[in-house]
Structure 1
């Protein structure tokens, strides 16, 4: 058993870690130049890891800081203030490897693996996605057979962050039953890339549009692992997966927090010092409006982080927390992209450079709206979850239900005008997406309201921001838009044919 390490006070640690990252990214290394190249240089990453940031997600019994959600989110935020790619690298390790291993792993495997993270700065990731199935994880074809105390696993995975770079993986697979078919349930296996029989090679690397520091590609799985490296589910593997993915989604605001704050700080500084027509850019009314969008995002993300601290610890099972998890992931990633777009617009031509913080922010934050479930899918699932609850209590008025729903019963009064409508019949998927995005905003404002003593000016900015969004969504929802794409669109559509 590893000796329990004496840890310094976290406020002291995180303050030093922020200074360490700032020094590395802005002084010791030219990160603006590095941002144009793939992967972090080995010596640069080694310097980052000297502060043992991943120890926040390792139990104290194994030399870590104890898997405190507040500490995990703070580390993610500190990283994303300097680099969203670095924060995602930490997020992959924390939410998709270390926390699941700490909760579901065999103790002897935990002991061996966590030691590598503490002593040798190892990294880990998760392999779920397959080329033909994407979000349809339940139909994955990676399969395993058990022979005595050994599992033989074979298949192909892709788009895993840290492909070809991680030392350890959690690999998902389905059992081959007696008839040769694949079982419906999913199981998770810890693999050690340093063991030849467990090595998973990346056979093709993708040229990802952003997040250059993180390698992605196609991974061929043809491995043999001992039985002790199978995670032990509390009930089914599917519920284990939901618990893990929901926990990961609930911790997205940690990555969003530092990222949005950096964009806010940069934009405020630029607009206060940039002189246009003899006055600072910030004097323009439209610029003030744009800045408040980022401040609203900052405020919403703050409420989300506070909510996550109370809900996403590994002592909780989050398999049933889909509405909340989907709300945090979808809305915060939309806010990240919107904040990046605003920041680039305010920066002017300079923002269009890839090595500018705003330009890099746009391409780095865009995939966050897609991976771990596309936001359209998650918003639709939020709406479906709420409608299911409404049917259960025989309520067809959205306002009537949200007034009694424990995630919106406080915030709903601020937005009654936009929510007082009834749901009749089956909704189109496009309308489910719109309804889900509306509900996500009402839920998130309640998280803000729960921050007792939070800056009242920021709260009011956020209320008005959400009112604007809900008004627009209300219009979309009631516009009865049912158009479909025209497949033979070239028929009678060449504009030159209509000239005399």
Structure 2
């Protein structure tokens, strides 16, 4: 087994893996039919896992390929070219289970668990979210207490990807203090589902709109785990969680790249072969604009992948890298959804089918803008973090600050007229979101510029589209929109009463 995993160079491995997936999805099985059903069939998933894709996130000392970010992103991208759901399944395992375990787990526990992944195709996931505390993780109510050499954990989680399917979980909980209150910090515990005292059931399965292959539901927690299955933070559990979530967000472009590339390839082919009025769709100017939007998204995502490889290895502490991590997650998922919507529009009526690549992509990519932090929240956090740095440096002009910021000092000058304004300290939250969207594009274009030798025509397409986006956002800021919803809107709002 190790001869297959360890001693083949990655270029050969990923090429073989892509061919393997192509064969399974398009020749051996009828994926159009599979995609309409809940869960991947066991035989189908077993064939996929024969190439041991999760070995990329397992250290070499335990028989894996070594937890290389480049290899992890390569596997995610190869998977998402065929299926976004498969890529998310891998992403959950890699970023939210295997990497945290490799960095913070007890060595003997790592050895035992990683062996199950390599030899028996085990799966793992992360449990944070609770019904009343979605993005408010610091107020979670799942608690634990130490009893001799074990920990007793009790609570409830939901919307965990791979609910009822994962063999192992990392479960978050807060410690009960002497007075019965929950402490502020958060700890992580590994549970093994096949052991009765550690089993976490799924008592209700959600009927999720897309991503049919991923089961989600409600999970009551009432388990006892041995002492060595608690992750060991380098400082606090909250910093461990931030390091893990930021690393996960920095790997979203891996899932995004293959997905966007597939939509780009399918849309280009369709627009070259679909004849309307005696000419291919590709000759229509509005169509050219839409295709260029997808190509700009592909280029931005490529730059993000390059940045992630440079920065997000498990040897790095990412707890403080909120601006870049939130930028990659929020912008790439917006671009994924926009690319899917464009692809569906270009495909016409045929695209509006759940078994069509475009239709499926619209519903499958939509939740990416919500989970691991809704994008509006992340854009707001990007702006708040930048404004905090601006205040610290006594700078009020956004362009002046970004022109000197490490990850925008090359790109800011391309957009000077769109960024050359002072930011009010009393800015509204809706404007914070808009400024966050602007900052994310400036930073991401720099990641593109840093890829020396990358296709210059794609870079120019991207520059023009980022410029257009920034002009649009500047217009939103200039509009000074303060409109608020009316709760009791029924008064004088029935149009039938206003006919002459």
TM-score tier, shorter chain, comes to: over 0.9
Q: Distance in 2 between matches of 1:399 and 1:19?
A: 46
Change (3 A) 1:392 1:3: same
- For 1:291, the equivalent position in structure 2 comes to 291
- For 1:387, the equivalent position in structure 2 comes to 387
- For 1:438, the equivalent position in structure 2 comes to 438
Gap runs ≥5 in structure 1: none
- For 2:448, the equivalent position in structure 1 comes to 448
Structure 1 contact 158–216 (Cα < 8 Å) conserved: yes
Q: Distance in 1 between matches of 2:187 and 2:140?
A: 11
Q: Distance in 1 between matches of 2:92 and 2:423?
A: 39
Q: Distance in 1 between matches of 2:168 and 2:267?
A: 39
Structure 2 contact 5–52 (Cα < 8 Å) conserved: no
Q: Distance in 2 between matches of 1:197 and 1:446?
A: 50
Structure 1 contact 4–60 (Cα < 8 Å) conserved: no
Q: Distance in 2 between matches of 1:489 and 1:106?
A: 58
Q: Distance in 1 between matches of 2:17 and 2:402?
A: 41
State yes or no: 1:358 paired with 2:339.
Answer: no
Residue 3 of structure 1 and its aligned partner are, at CA, apart by: 11
Residue 449 of structure 1 and its aligned partner are, at CA, apart by: 0.1
TM-score (normalizing by structure 2): 0.99
Structure 1 contact 143–154 (Cα < 8 Å) conserved: yes
- For 2:170, the equivalent position in structure 1 comes to 170
Q: Distance in 2 between matches of 1:110 and 1:266?
A: 41
State yes or no: 1:342 paired with 2:339.
Answer: no
- For 1:253, the equivalent position in structure 2 comes to 253
Where do 1:177-326 residues align within 5 Å?
Answer: 177-326=177-326
Residue 173 of structure 1 and its aligned partner are, at CA, apart by: 0.2
Q: Distance in 2 between matches of 1:492 and 1:157?
A: 44
Q: Distance in 2 between matches of 1:101 and 1:383?
A: 32
Aligned partner of residue 154 in structure 1, secondary structure: strand
Structure 1 contact 190–229 (Cα < 8 Å) conserved: yes
Structure 1 contact 4–62 (Cα < 8 Å) conserved: no
Residue 148 of structure 1 and its aligned partner are, at CA, apart by: 1.2
Q: Distance in 1 between matches of 2:135 and 2:5?
A: 40
Residue 92 of structure 1 and its aligned partner are, at CA, apart by: 0.1
Residue 4 of structure 1 and its aligned partner are, at CA, apart by: 11
Structure 1 contact 5–60 (Cα < 8 Å) conserved: no
CA root-mean-square deviation: 1.0
State yes or no: 1:328 paired with 2:343.
Answer: no
Q: Distance in 2 between matches of 1:291 and 1:337?
A: 14
Residue 481 of structure 1 and its aligned partner are, at CA, apart by: 0.5
State yes or no: 1:374 paired with 2:374.
Answer: yes
Where do 1:66-145 residues align within 5 Å?
Answer: 66-145=66-145
Residue 424 of structure 1 and its aligned partner are, at CA, apart by: 2.0
Q: Distance in 1 between matches of 2:346 and 2:446?
A: 30
Residue 5 of structure 1 and its aligned partner are, at CA, apart by: 6.5
What is the number of equivalent residue pairs in this alignment?
499
- For 2:397, the equivalent position in structure 1 comes to 397
- For 1:461, the equivalent position in structure 2 comes to 461
Deviation string 1:103-141 (CA, Å, 9 cap, x unpaired) is: 000000000000000000000000000000000000000
Deviation string 1:446-476 (CA, Å, 9 cap, x unpaired) is: 0000000000000000000001100000000
TM-score (normalizing by structure 1): 0.99
Residue 426 of structure 1 and its aligned partner are, at CA, apart by: 1.1
Residue 478 of structure 1 and its aligned partner are, at CA, apart by: 1.4
Residue 57 of structure 1 and its aligned partner are, at CA, apart by: 0.1
Q: Distance in 1 between matches of 2:388 and 2:59?
A: 38
Q: Distance in 2 between matches of 1:331 and 1:3?
A: 39
Deviation string 1:125-169 (CA, Å, 9 cap, x unpaired) is: 000000000000000000000011100000000000000000000
Q: Distance in 1 between matches of 2:92 and 2:452?
A: 31
Aligned partner of residue 39 in structure 1, secondary structure: coil
State yes or no: 1:38 paired with 2:41.
Answer: no
Structure 2 contact 5–55 (Cα < 8 Å) conserved: no
Residue 7 of structure 1 and its aligned partner are, at CA, apart by: 2.3
Give 4+ residue runs of structure 1 displaced > 6 Å after superposition: 2-5
Q: Distance in 2 between matches of 1:403 and 1:137?
A: 34
Structure 1 contact 14–74 (Cα < 8 Å) conserved: yes
Residue 403 of structure 1 and its aligned partner are, at CA, apart by: 1.0
Q: Distance in 2 between matches of 1:466 and 1:175?
A: 46
Residue 6 of structure 1 and its aligned partner are, at CA, apart by: 3.8
Change (3 A) 1:6 1:35: closer
Gap runs ≥5 in structure 2: none
